[in-house]
Amino acid sequence: MKKEVKTMTPDNFRPYGTYITWEEIDVKNDPVNFYKEDSIVSKLSTDLCALTLQGVSPRENVVTRSEYHAFTEEIYGGFEEDVVMHVGLPSAEPKAENIELFLLPARAYCRIKRGVWHMAPFALGKNRVHGIVILPPYTYTHDCIVKELDEPIEFEL
């Protein structure tokens, strides 16, 4: 299956979570700005949060697997270059027809709601890109369901 990559906006990403950019807070033109409630990660398992650095190397533009967290939301982004990510609304299985692809611009962030299918983004150029993931520590050991898609999804820009 081949799918189009959409440019992420606050409106089209709302079913999956929150789209967060530095430009939105800089519009206020105050000496110091920060996000408030829009960047909260809802987690039921712990009061702790970990800031994890993530590196993503270029790879084939094909989504074959996805994951979700039943009890935890996730924030990631801040990559030096644009990346492509996939998301799908909560369901028992990740079906290719229900997956959407989004361009997450460089330096932007997104919050993924509980139960939303997703996985690490795709680097688009020839460079490895680096970003940040915010989750409770060791979420991948106790609140991470990974499954293969029913069919691969290819994409181009």
User: What is the distance between the alpha carbons of residues 153 and 59, in angstroms, rounded to a whole number?
Assistant: 14
Number of domains in the chain: 1
C-alpha distances in Å from residue 14, one per residue of 71, 148, 155: 19, 25, 22
How confident is the model at residue 149, as a pLDDT?
Answer: 97
- Tell me the torsion sign for CA atoms 139, 142, 13, 121: positive
Which tokens go with 108?
Answer: 């932007």
How confident is the model at residue 35, as a pLDDT?
Answer: 52
Q: What is the CATH number of the domain that holds 20?
A: 2.60.120.480
Instruction: Count other C-beta atoms under 10 Å from residue 6's C-beta.
Output: 13
Interval 78-133: pLDDT, tens = 999 999 999 999 999 999 999 999 999 999 999 999 999 999 999 998 999 999 99
Model pTM score: 0.84
How confident is the model at residue 46, as a pLDDT?
Answer: 64
Its domain, for residue 134, covers 2-155
Which tokens go with 94?
Answer: 């990740």
Q: What is the mean pLDDT of the chain?
A: 87
